[in-house]
Amino acid sequence: MTDIFKTIVDALVREGFHNLTEKKEQQGRPLDFSITPYSLNSKLSFKFDNLEHFIGFLQMHQIAGLDDKTAALQATLNELNLDPNQFFYVNFFEKGKELEM
């Protein structure tokens, strides 16, 4: 695990997100994220070098349906006019709380 991945996981666990997968039998707060070209200056806003870097993070946590999510991530970056080979920020938050951001 790279140091940045460990930092991210540690921060998520401290905030009550004990599981990054979407398995219903697991406990913990449901996690979601948004992608932005800038940091939201929150405890759970992290810079990824590029799309491949973020996908590597998701693969480490065996996120279900990653192939479909990869296509959705690519589409999201395109909508935001972000180059998948350049850095971006991933802002994690509790699923259903995106309106509070």
Which pLDDT tens digit goes with each residue over 52-99? 999 998 888 766 667 778 889 999 999 999 999 999 999 999 887 764
pLDDT score recorded for residue 81: 96
Domain count, the chain: 1
Mean pLDDT throughout 32-58? Answer: 93
Question: Which structural domain, as residue segments, surrounds residue 63?
Answer: 3-22+29-100
Res. 27 pLDDT band, cuts 50 70 90: low
- Whole-model pTM: value is 0.81
> Can you give the pLDDT at residue 84?
96
| Block residue for tokens 């979407």 | 22
- pLDDT confidence of residue 28: 61
Per the DSSP assignment, residues forming a β-bridge with 36 are 89
Burial degree of 84 (CB within 10 A; 0-12, 13-18, 19+): middle
Q: Helix axis angle, 3-14 relative to 51-60, nearest 10°?
A: 60
User: In this predicted structure, what is the pLDDT of residue 24?
Assistant: 46
Question: Cα(84)–Cα(101) distance, rounded to whole angstroms?
Answer: 24
Chain-centroid distance of CA 57 in Å reads 8
Percentage of the chain with pLDDT > 90? 45
